[in-house]
Structure 1
Amino acid sequence: GMIMIVVATVGVVINGFTAILLMKESHADLNIRGAYLHMMADAAVSLGVVVAGVALWTTGILWIDPMVSMLVSFVVAYGTWGLLWESANLALDAVPRGIDFHKIDVFLRSIEGVSNVHELRIWGPSTSESSLTAHVVVVDERHHRRVLSQATECLKNEHGIKHITLQIEDKKVSETVSE
């Protein structure tokens, strides 16, 4: 009884300290968030062992142990649901959280000289970066560089997209190809 409580208390301290070290970076990177939640879950399990051990030792009520185990299991499952959801989105190349696909589409179409945008794709190649590709149809070839520069600068600085590939198409050529 007492050895179990002491060992579990050490587990709470070590896992809790490790979780604190990871906490700051856990908001920016999914992998670190996974490690952080793992340490928090280990600390919660150890705390559950301490609570159940003390309760069992002082009261002798046997159902306290499975009750605490179930409570800790529910807390851990609830805490990791967001991680699972975000991991699935990353695996499926979904638009990363915090990036508004529609807003970016509207922005690209609003650039002076742009007549159309198609094949717009936004995804997260990693948990801390985002990528974008698009075909941007420009009315006149004289606008190519300005459109490319304006779009790239805004996508990087205002939308946080790090990897941008824009294919600039001339409207006349684009219309000929699509016919």
Structure 2
Amino acid sequence: MGHTVKTRNVLNKPGHHHHIDPKAGNTRILWAVVINIMLTVVQIVGGILSGSLALIADAIHNLSDALSLGLAFFARKIAQRPADDAMTFGYGRAEIVAALINYTTLILLGLFLTYEAVLRLFAPTDVDGWSVVIIAAFALGVDTLTAFLTYALSKSSMNIRAAFLHNVADALGSVAVIVAGTVIILYDWRLIDPLITLLIAGYILWQSITEIGGSVRILMLGSPPDLDTQAVLTAMRSVSGVENVHHLHVWQMQEHQSALNAHIVIKEGRWNEADRVKEAVKIVLRARFGLSHITLELERHGFECEDVQVVGHTSATN
């Protein structure tokens, strides 16, 4: 009975519910991408004309919003493609590869903005404060509209939720640029522009470096970050009929799908129950750890692999 309750909890995670029509969701994302790209162009042109590096920095950050939303849109499309002979696990990792490229580019841009801002600290340039404030205020309005378009979707999709939070952070960046422009208008303190640029660049670097690790972990076949491998082993060994477990592999097939394969040694005298024991292990793994793809190789007592390691696989042919 306990297994049944836990299984329901696993299946009722937010990511498994889709209350919004997929086509309507795609349309919202497309509109969000379009207006963010248009805003990026306006901010870059405005930043060049006004001489504001902070405005250009905010434009680049806003472009990352458009890229993340675009990535979310294409991921929804690619995820619908079935597995085939070339991609037997499906195409879900296309999103992970794109995210890695996106974050790497953002890190490079963040470093470039930091370099440019430091140069301006030693050689401040003239900045048209009014242009900065007007364009940044327009950007804040667009950020608010984008948040409105994606808020409902963010409740049912982790991918969209990340883009939504990214957009909210960009709105805060627009507020910072407005503050910089206001200071320039009131006090003609031009150092505020590179200082705000450093603030925005620092946020881009912090966010990108924090997020890129997850992409690398998945591509490196790392175990899910919230999964305790030793707890998995303990749970498998506690199933009646299991003598031991080895050659355990746990990895993320995609962002929301985790897989496991392992060798299970059936206790002496229980080989006739091997199929039941295997199914009992799968029930525990699905209910307690939410694993979606489980492959178990059964070994009879006395015929198990030799010289094995518990986690991972040796170079032997076992």
- TM-score using structure 2 length: 0.49
5+ long unaligned stretches in structure 1? none
1:62 aligns with 2:190: yes
Map 1:12-161 onto structure 2 (within 5 A): 12-19=140-147, 21=150, 25=154, 29=158, 31-32=159-160, 35-36=163-164, 38-139=166-267, 140-161=270-291
User: What is the rounded CA distance, in whole Å, between the counterparts of 2:151 and 2:224 in structure 1?
Assistant: 22
Cα 1:98–1:33 change in 2 (3 A) is same
CA contact (8 A) 2:153 2:161 kept: no
Give secondary structure in 2 for the equivalent of 1:130: strand
Question: Which structure shows the higher strand fraction?
Answer: 1
Please state how far the C-alpha of 1:174 moved relative to its aligned partner: 2.2
Please state how far the C-alpha of 1:173 moved relative to its aligned partner: 3.0
How large is the RMSD of aligned CA atoms in angstroms? 2.8
Percent of matched pairs sharing the same residue: 27
User: What is the rounded CA distance, in whole Å, between the counterparts of 2:241 and 2:203 in structure 1?
Assistant: 54
Deviation per residue, 1:117-165 (Å, 9 max, x gap): 1111111111111111111111231221221121111111111111111
Q: How many residues of Structure 1 are paired with residues of Structure 2 in the alignment?
A: 177
User: What is the rounded CA distance, in whole Å, between the counterparts of 1:175 and 1:115 in structure 2?
Assistant: 13
CA contact (8 A) 2:218 2:252 kept: yes
User: What is the rounded CA distance, in whole Å, between the counterparts of 2:300 and 2:146 in structure 1?
Assistant: 55
CA contact (8 A) 1:33 1:83 kept: no
State the one-letter code of the partner of 2:208.
T
User: What is the rounded CA distance, in whole Å, between the counterparts of 1:120 and 1:10 in structure 2?
Assistant: 54
State the one-letter code of the partner of 1:62.
R
User: What is the rounded CA distance, in whole Å, between the counterparts of 1:167 and 1:130 in structure 2?
Assistant: 18
Counterpart of 1:162 in structure 2 is: 292
Please state how far the C-alpha of 1:4 moved relative to its aligned partner: 3.1
Higher relative contact order (Cα pairs below 8 Å, separated by 6+ residues): 2
CA contact (8 A) 1:138 1:171 kept: yes
CA contact (8 A) 1:41 1:76 kept: no
